[in-house]
Homo-oligomer: A and B are copies of this chain.
Amino acid sequence: MPVTLKELAARANVHPSTISRVANNDPGLRIATDTRSRIEALLRETGYQPNGIARGLKLRQTNVLAVVIPDVTNPFFAALFRGVEDVAAPRGFNVLLCNTDGLPERQRSHLQSLQARRVDGVIIASSFLKDPSVRDLRGQKRPFVLVNRFSDDGEDPFVGSDDLLGGQLATAHLIDLGHTRIGHLAGKSTVSTGMLRRRGYLAAHTAAGLAADPGLVVEAGYTEESGAAAARHLLSVPDPPTAVFAVTDMVALGTAEVARQMGFRIPEDLAIVGYNDIPLASRVSPGITTMRVPIHEFGSVAGRLLLDQIENDEPAQRRVRFTPDLIVRESTVAGLIRSARSARPNSSAEQGAPR
């Protein structure tokens, strides 16, 4: 059992409050030098660590953040989390990780538990456009930041990419390559990324004077498995598309796998574009053309936004949106020179800037 203030006080023949002030380096504390050194010696000797629970109760601050994501085994969310922890740890915050598997019910129960725990702030990367959980959160005083997906078109603090533009650029790339029958393995229409990227897909068609075939848009979810299932469906229609824009790289990977199984050559029979540029996208063969977003930065910026809210006690309703960059690989263009430089994320590449 760790030592308490009371025990130390007994050993030093002073009142607990005195120890507390010395340990916390209370500015403006008037204390005799010998008393202070006696106490400091005791603190060192015992390695006293204040009980964080008691401290939290008194100070109404836990120094704990929480990150709520669909699934940390998805590399996108793992990188996101690192971004958060990298800014939180140096500031003395620990971070809880909650996986929802995309289930609203699990998200709700996690958020409820986090509320009971009185975490100081929450970062949510699993929100829906209409999300009771987010609405509850707004009602509480608890600071939060949405990442990647926003909710309700609200004015909540948010960090993510310009998904409308991203969807448009991805699709325009396929149009530029001469494709006219372009499919879309869409995200859920209940999720902002799904809605906006799909809208971008349509906008690119309009801008090019092309008519998008509604039959070529199928909802594919966000996992590799659901993507594969949707792709199997899409590629089985009588007149299949010659190219697809997948809402995420994971969906693109599932698609590539299914396409290969069905005898499509990539990119000759089917060109594929993904989204996010997760590390996997550049490692598989063929490399997946994708929209690069600064994933780690999503996390670190969101973390900073959250910590500023917490420490300055201000609403800080900022919204940060990064512009995604098209990264062209072999899944859309055959015969690319696959050098390390072009195939792997390149740190000197131009990153989208907040605007």
Contact = CB atoms under 8 A, between A and B. Distances in A.
Given A57-B54, A280-B283, A283-B280, A92 B113 contact: yes
A97 interface: yes
A51 interface: yes
A55 to B, nearest CB: 8
A115 B72 contact: no
A97 B85 contact: yes
Given A49-B116, A96-B97, A280-B283, A261 B85 contact: no
B49 A115 contact: yes
Interface residues of A, number: 50
Given A72-B81, A85-B97, A95-B96, A53 B49 contact: no
Nearest to A79: B73
B98 A82 contact: no
A64 B94 CA distance: 12
Contacts of A75: 73, 75, 78
A52 interface: yes
Contacts of A94: 66, 96, 98, 113-114, 117
Interface in A282-310: 283-285
A118 B113 CA distance: 18
A206 B110 CA distance: 53
A52 B141 contact: no
A17 interface: no
A257 interface: yes
B340 A261 contact: yes
A47 B285 CA distance: 52
Nearest to A286: B285
A62 interface: yes
A81 B89 CA distance: 19
Interface in A65-79: 66, 71-73, 75, 78-79
A246 B63 CA distance: 40
Nearest to A51: B118
A53 B55 CA distance: 9
Nearest to A71: B82
A192 B56 CA distance: 38
A72 B78 contact: yes
A1 interface: yes
A75 B280 CA distance: 11
Contacts of A2: 115, 140
Interface of A: 1-2, 49-54, 56-57, 62-64, 66, 71-73, 75, 78-79, 81-82, 85, 89, 92, 94-99, 106, 110, 112-118, 140-141, 253, 257, 261, 280, 283-285, 340
Complex A-B, nearest 10 residue pairs according to Cβ-Cβ distance, in ascending order:
A285-B285, A52-B117, A97-B97, A52-B116, A49-B116, A53-B56, A73-B78, A53-B57, A72-B78, A78-B78
18 contacts: A1-B141, A2-B140, A49-B115, A49-B116, A50-B116, A52-B117, A53-B53, A53-B57, A72-B81, A73-B78, A82-B99, A89-B110, A94-B113, A94-B114, A253-B283, A257-B340, A261-B340, A284-B284
